[in-house]
Every structure is written in structure tokens, then in C-alpha cells.
Amino acid sequence: MRTTRPGGPVRAANPAGRIGVLAVLVLAAAYSLLPVWWLVVSATKGSSDLFSSNGFWFAGRIEIVHNISTLLGVQDGIYGRWLLNSLLYAVGGAAAATLLSAMAGYVLAKYTFRGREAVFNTVLGAILIPAPLFALPLYLMFSATHLVNTFWAVFIPSIVSPFGVYLSRIYAAAAVPDELLEAGRIDGAGEFRIFRSIALRVLQPSLVTIFLFQFVTIWTNYLLPSLMLASDRLQPVTVGLVAWKEQRGQTVPYNLIITGALLSVVPIVVMFLLLQRYWKAGLTSGSVK
């Protein structure tokens, strides 16, 4: 983007319009941040304060440390197990999905073969179908192969990301020049070596994006694991929290469930903070060239 005035950044022509835009943005920010704020505040309350005090402000003693330690001890520490399961599904699944997407996208972008467009269009079509629609057919398939109620029942569907393939192809087509590959071939590198040592490096920003998207998708997935898993030792944290919530505070008090919900968001936040450097760099790197 170019600035028209030498002295300063682009300015909207109409100040009233600017205030309007600002107001909408502030509203949007408040709309998305208020529930988070409620969650943070509520997680600090004891169970008697939870319903009797202002939902958006702290009350009485800050009980969050006590809440967390109680939460981790409840039902033989099942919550920690759930968190671990979620991490396993999400980190492992997202990593595998990223690699597979990168390979598929790269192949679709850089090799011409018969049926390439058909494959790509099928993948594109798959993006349009909401993932929950796949849950039931997958269940029936996995039942037939006796994979139901195993780690693999949740893991295998997680390593597929049509959106990732799509993104990789677009990115690979734009960011990996054919000359680079030719140079590699002239130097005698095999196709897989070229992919691994050249293409993957160039593709890195898109890989981070795919990883993040897939991580969040797996982390927040509910229907698939709730269908596939019968044992609560295998469940991810989403399924576990909903089960607690549905018991309406009878076994695990509401304030602990809320603390659990807060803790379950932390890994996503951490992931974003860790990866945003690469991510942002990737999104803007193409624009200045």
C-alpha cells in the first residue's frame, strides 16, 4: 500500500466516518472480550460467590489457586488427564495434518499430472462440508475396522485438513519459484530432498498458519470424540467439561467447571503467542516484494 501524502499515514476523508468505524471496532472488541473477562473473573470465585456477586467483577477472596488445585484433584485428577489427551490429539494431529497438507499442496502446485484439477476440486469441495457432518459416517467406518474407542479414532480424522491443502497449494504456487526447484535438480537433489530442504523452508509461514488452524479445530472439537470414545480416560477436555456441566454442579461445582474452562483456553493462547511471530512475518512477507 502506498501513502498519498508524504508526511503521514493514510487518513480517512471523513472524521465522522472514522469515529463510526472506531465505534464498531470497539463494540466488536467488547463483544468478543467480555465473555473472556467473565471467564477470568468467575474462575477466581468460590462457589458461594459465583452466583451471588457481580459477574463482571471480583468478589471476596481470590480463590483461583485453590480452585485450580481442587480441580486437579477432583475424581483422581481426571482433568489433568483430559488436558493431556487434548494436547496429544491437538499437537500430534496438527503436526501430522500440517505435514500432509504441505506435501499434498506442494504436489498439486508444482507437478502436472492427469487428474490434478479433479483432486484439487475435490479437496476444495471438502472445505465446504462442515466437519461434524463427517462424524457419523466416520463412526460407522471406524466401527467396522474396530478402531472405535481407541486413540486412533480421534487422531486419524484430525490429520486431514482440506483447508490446509488448499492453503499450501496457493502458497506453494506463489512462493516456491520453479527456478529454485530446477536449481535443486541440477545439483542432483532428489524430489523428496528438494521438498524437505527447500520447499518446506519457503512454505514455513503457511505451515504455521495451517498448524494453528488445525490445532484450534482439534482442540475445540466436540462431536467426533464424544461419538468415538466410550472411555472417559481417552476423552479430550471439551467432552469432559461438557459432561461435568451437564450434571449441573451435582458432582463438580460450577466454579471448578469454570476454572476448568479457563485452563482449557490457556494452551490455545500459548500456541498463538509462541507462533504469532512466524505467522505475522509470513502474512506480510509477500506483500513488500
Partner 1 sequence: MKNRALRTVTLAVAIASLAGTAACGSGGSGGSADKASGPVTIEFWGWAPGYEKSVELFNSTHPGIQVTYSKISPGSKGGYTKMLSAVKAGNAPCVGSVGFETLPTFAAAGALQDATAAAAPFAKEYGASAFAQSGVAGHTYGLPVDIAPMGLIYRKDLFAKFGIHEAPRTWEEYAADAATIHAADPNAYIGYFGNDAYNFAGLAQQAGAKWFATGGEKWSVEVNDAATRKVAAFWQGLIDKKLVKVVPSFDTALYKGMGEGTILSDVNAVWDTPILADSVKQTSGNWAVAPMPVWDAAKPASGNAGGTPNAILKGCAHVKEAVEFAHWFGTDQASVSNLIKETGIYPAALSGLDNPALAEPNPFYGGQKIFDVFRASAAQVDAGFQWGPVMTKTSGALGDGLGKAGAGSTTLEAALADTQAQTVAEMKTQGMGIG
Contact set with partner 1 (CB under 8 A): 47-48, 50-52, 55, 100, 103, 107, 111, 113, 136, 139-140, 143-152, 156, 185, 190-192, 195, 222-223, 226-227, 229-232, 239, 242-243, 246-251, 253-254
Of the pair 201, 277, the CB lying nearest partner 1 is at: 201
For residue 172, what is its C-alpha cell? 506453494
Shortest spacing between CB 148 and partner 1, in angstroms: 7
Of the pair 111, 272, the CB lying nearest partner 1 is at: 111
CB contact at 8 A, 216 and 163:
no
* CA angle (129 as vertex; 266, 102 as ends), nearest 5: 65
Nearest C-alpha neighbor of 252 from the set 87, 54, 79: 79
Of the pair 212, 257, the CB lying nearest partner 1 is at: 257
Residues 6+ apart with CB under 8 A from 272: 212
Of the pair 222, 278, the CB lying nearest partner 1 is at: 222
CA distance 89 to 218: 7
Strands (E), the chain: none
- Helix, strand or coil for residue 53? coil
Q: H/E element holding 243?
A: helix 237-246
C-alpha atoms less than 13 angstroms from C-alpha of 93 in its C-beta half-sphere: 28
Of the pair 37, 51, the CB lying nearest partner 1 is at: 51
Shortest spacing between CB 201 and partner 1, in angstroms: 18
Shortest spacing between CB 115 and partner 1, in angstroms: 13
Shortest spacing between CB 61 and partner 1, in angstroms: 14
Shortest spacing between CB 191 and partner 1, in angstroms: 4
Of the pair 31, 113, the CB lying nearest partner 1 is at: 113
Shortest spacing between CB 276 and partner 1, in angstroms: 30
Handedness of CA 199, 202, 204, 209 (dihedral sign): negative
